[in-house]
Amino acid sequence: MKINRWVTLLGVISLLFLHGKTSVGAQQKTIVLGTTTSTQDSGLFEVLIPIFEKKTGYFVKTIAVGSGQAMVLGQRGEADLLLVHSPAAEKKFVAEGCGINRRLVMHNDFVIVGPSEDPAKVKGLRSASESFKRIASAKALFLSRADKSGTHVKEMDIWKRSGINPEGEKWYQQTGLGMGQTLNVAAEKKGYTLADRGTYLALKKNLELSILVEGDAILLNAYHVIEINPARWPKVNAAGARAFANFMVSRETQGIIKTFGVDKFGSPLFFPDAGKKEEELGR
């Protein structure tokens, strides 16, 4: 009878899965890493994670979302550790007892990109907030990720410093998308946006956008690892989180970060900072 064939097929398929890495017993061997789309899009983890997994036997599940969402996952104990770049929010996160052991891993920097015609005439400026002022007064199109990601938080910080509230302005458009897609929209609409250098470099070949402003201290983008507080969330894989965090600041890993992207883009995407203090960055 036909039904028997279906049942057999179903059985075979479920067996296939049981053979996989999904069995519940392996729980403590998996680590859920909450991180940002910008790090995933750069491809850095595809180099680092296999090395870590091979060394330790852990299985890392990278959940790439915005920094904001990643921190909500951490807050609820749904992730074991975070690798994020939203310093002010991170400090609050640790202060509230959600996370422990916040350590600086690396940085890259943000750049203001836009069409080479540069209608707001910002090219060559040193100050990010000055550039934003010009964009606002020229009513030149600006695209915001508006997704509470680290990049978005940084962008809002700059607006605040320039004394402008762009919310609701016609020239200020919110995409609600990740970095890569927002860059694509900006290129398509010939608008300005704030981007991390790594993602911009990775996408550069398909974009008609140029770097217009860079080098301001406020544009530095620091990545920290934060372990989720196991005292608060007992189900968290604390040992795994510690192991991965240690791996990220280890000499070997820092060495890989230093050269990552050089072969492809001609310059590194990230600068290793393990052991440094946040205040020392950019000097």
Partner 1 sequence: MDLILEGIKKALWLLLTLDPEVRGVTLLSIKVSGTATLISLLIGISIGTIVALSEFRGKRFFVSLINTGMGLPPVVVGLFVTIFLWRNGPLGFFGILYTPIAMILAQAIIATPIVMGITLAAIQQLPKRLQLQILSLGATRLQMVWILIKEAKLPLLAAVMAGFGGVISEVGASMMVGGNIKGYSRVLTTATVMETSRGNFDMAIALGIILLLLAYIINLILTQIQQRERPR
Q: Which residues bind partner 1 (CB under 8 A)?
A: 3, 6, 9-10, 13-14, 16-17, 20-22, 24, 27, 32, 37, 40-41, 43, 45-46, 49, 59, 61-64, 76-78, 177-181, 183-184, 202-203, 205-207, 233, 235
Of the pair 108, 131, the CB lying nearest partner 1 is at: 108
Least distance to partner 1 from the beta carbon of 55, Å? Answer: 17
Cα 111 from Cα 155, distance rounded (Å): 11
Of the pair 132, 247, the CB lying nearest partner 1 is at: 247
Least distance to partner 1 from the beta carbon of 247, Å? Answer: 17
Residue with tokens 């090219």: 123
Least distance to partner 1 from the beta carbon of 17, Å? Answer: 6
Least distance to partner 1 from the beta carbon of 275, Å? Answer: 29
Cα 254 from Cα 18, distance rounded (Å): 37
Cα 57 from Cα 6, distance rounded (Å): 37
Of the pair 27, 267, the CB lying nearest partner 1 is at: 27
Of the pair 133, 148, the CB lying nearest partner 1 is at: 148
Of the pair 43, 119, the CB lying nearest partner 1 is at: 43
Cα torsion 270, 274, 279, 280: sign: negative
Of the pair 22, 267, the CB lying nearest partner 1 is at: 22
Structural tokens at position 221 = 């983008």
- Residue 146 contacts by C-beta under 8 Å, 6 or more apart in sequence? 152, 174, 175, 176
DSSP H helices, the chain, are: 2-18, 37-42, 44-56, 67-75, 87-95, 128-138, 150-162, 179-189, 197-203, 238-249, 251-259, 262-265
Cα 151 from Cα 145, distance rounded (Å): 8
Burial letters 135-160, b for 16+ CB under 10 A, else e: bbeeebbbbbbbbbbbbbbbbbbbbe
Least distance to partner 1 from the beta carbon of 61, Å? Answer: 5
CA distances from 173 to 38, 69, 140, 185 (A): 20, 21, 11, 10
Of the pair 55, 76, the CB lying nearest partner 1 is at: 76
Helix (H) or strand (E) holding 221: strand 220-228
Least distance to partner 1 from the beta carbon of 181, Å? Answer: 5
Least distance to partner 1 from the beta carbon of 257, Å? Answer: 19
